[in-house]
Amino acid sequence: MISQTAEYALRAMVCLSAHWREGLPTSRIVDRTQVPSGYLPKVMRLLDRAGLIYGIRGAGGGYYLKRLPSDITLWDVVKAVEPGIGVGCCPTDTGGTCALHATLNEALDAMRGVLESTTLADLLNGVKGVPPLGVMAKL
């Protein structure tokens, strides 16, 4: 239900969260996340515009989080790259939402609830019985 861009953004943000004190250059983010090198700059621009990261150019530069991983939810990341995420109105229904769109809205609300209640730090520390994402930090 989320786009490939949103998944790439989440991968990049988890990677940056694992290295939030030092930041990372684009090449290391690409290596660790497998986000295509030609597409990562677009994703990072969207995250920067949303106020989640900042970049420093030149030698020793890279990308850094603007807030602690515990202060950034997965929903913050998704809406940064998909600001209009949602289900539109049914084009065949003149009086409101049809059963299909009502169901899709319900599913989106459930997904949003999970993403709003999960931070980047939760993923690094392990959440919902799933082991921590330590592998991202070690690559």
Render pLDDT for 12-69 as a digit per residue (tens, 0 to 9): 999 999 988 888 999 999 999 999 999 999 999 999 999 999 999 888 789 999 999 9
Which CATH fold would you assign to the domain 4-86+119-138? Arc Repressor Mutant, subunit A (1.10.10)
Which residue(s) pair with 56 in the sheet?
Answer: 62
Query: How does pLDDT run across 112-129, given as a tens digit for each residue?
Result: 999 999 999 998 887 766
Q: What is the spatial distance between Cα 44 and Cα 51, in angstroms, rounded to a whole number?
A: 11
Residue 39 CB: number of other CB atoms within 10 A?
A: 13
Of the given ranges (74-78, 107-111, 131-135), which has the lowest mean pLDDT? 131-135
pTM over 0.95: no
Q: Which of 134, 38, 104 is nearest to 8 (CA)?
A: 38
CA–CA separation, 50 and 40 (whole Å):
15
